[in-house]
Structure 1
Amino acid sequence: MIITYKFKRDTPPEAWLGSEFKSYGSDNSGVSMSFSTEFMKHALYQLSPVEDIELGLLLKRPGSLFINDLSKVENFSDKGYGSVPRAYIVCKEDKTITKEIQWWMIDNYPTKVVKEMEDTDHMPMFCKPQLLSDYLLEIAEKLA
Structure 2
Amino acid sequence: MITRLKGRPNFSGELLFDDYTITFRNDPLLIAFGIACVSIMIIGYTVNIYMHHLDKDVFFLILYAVMLLFGIFYIAFFRKKYIAAKKMHKKIIKPKSIKLVKITPIKKNIIFTFKLHNNSQQKFKCRNNIKSDKLLAFLKNHKVKLVTK
How does the TM-score come out when normalised to structure 2? 0.28
How does the TM-score come out when normalised to structure 1? 0.29
Flag the structure with more relative contact order, 1 or 2, with Cα contacts below 8 A and sequence separation at least 6.
2
